[in-house]
Amino acid sequence: MNLLTLNRSEFGDPANESNIPSLEEAENLLDEWVKNGSLKRHMRQVGMLMKAWAKEKEQLSAQEQIKWEIAGLLHDADWDQWPKQHCRKIVEELESRDVAPSIIRAIASHGPSHFGVEPKSKMDKMLYAFDELSGLIHAYSLMRPTGYEGMQPKGVKKRLKDKSFAAQVSREDIRDASERVGVDLNELITFIIQHQADVE
């Protein structure tokens, strides 16, 4: 069993489901915990993807959209300062703040092969699906002279096949996540290209 395994599958208290941190509270936590600018941008990108997906593809209420966004925004909050406690630290912090369990659970299951928690809800699965793919697409944008402009899914797929490109990005997680969520890889890639370009 690896260090990061959380060893449980229930998170938070169901009585807290309506307790959604404000965006300001989430940003404050990021400012406090995350000094690494590119890691912060990664979380902002995933947060914005989650929100956009909840709104455009799932047509969820404004309140649900914020839950999705907060889960994306905070999913790696502990990675900068406590890599060996990655996931456990943020999960326990949010539990101590009585945060909605659906948000905590989505964060806890963003890497099933690392943390041993299976993504169940659509929110869980989308966070898992966006995480690595968003990172790879951002890395690709940095090596293109025009950044995101004119980027095509075909180019992204080529980089996915080239295992030496952004080698730390798990191709297996990307394949597994897209399969679990039942969304075609092309659709995921197109959505990410369209939505994350403007996130600073």
Binding site for Fe ion (CB under 5 A): 76, 131
DSSP assignment letter at 110? S
Nearer to Fe ion, 131 or 173 (CB): 131
Residue carrying the six token digits 């394949």: 175
Rounded Cα distance between 12 and 20, Å, is: 12
Nearer to Fe ion, 76 or 173 (CB): 76
Nearer to Fe ion, 76 or 124 (CB): 76
Nearer to Fe ion, 60 or 90 (CB): 90
- In the complex, the smallest distance separating the C-beta of residue 59 from Fe ion, rounded to whole angstroms, is 26
Q: Which residues contact 159 (CB under 8 A, 6 or more apart)?
A: 136, 139, 140, 165, 166
165 to each of 114, 153, 161, how far by Cα in Å? Answer: 22, 16, 9
Nearer to Fe ion, 16 or 42 (CB): 42
- In the complex, the smallest distance separating the C-beta of residue 63 from Fe ion, rounded to whole angstroms, is 24
- In the complex, the smallest distance separating the C-beta of residue 72 from Fe ion, rounded to whole angstroms, is 9
**Tokens at residue 111, please?**
């890497």
Q: Which residues contact 146 (CB under 8 A, 6 or more apart)?
A: none
- In the complex, the smallest distance separating the C-beta of residue 18 from Fe ion, rounded to whole angstroms, is 26
φ/ψ region of 147 (left if φ > 0, alpha if ψ in -120 to 50, else beta) reads left
- In the complex, the smallest distance separating the C-beta of residue 75 from Fe ion, rounded to whole angstroms, is 6
61 to each of 71, 98, 135, 142, how far by Cα in Å? Answer: 16, 22, 27, 34
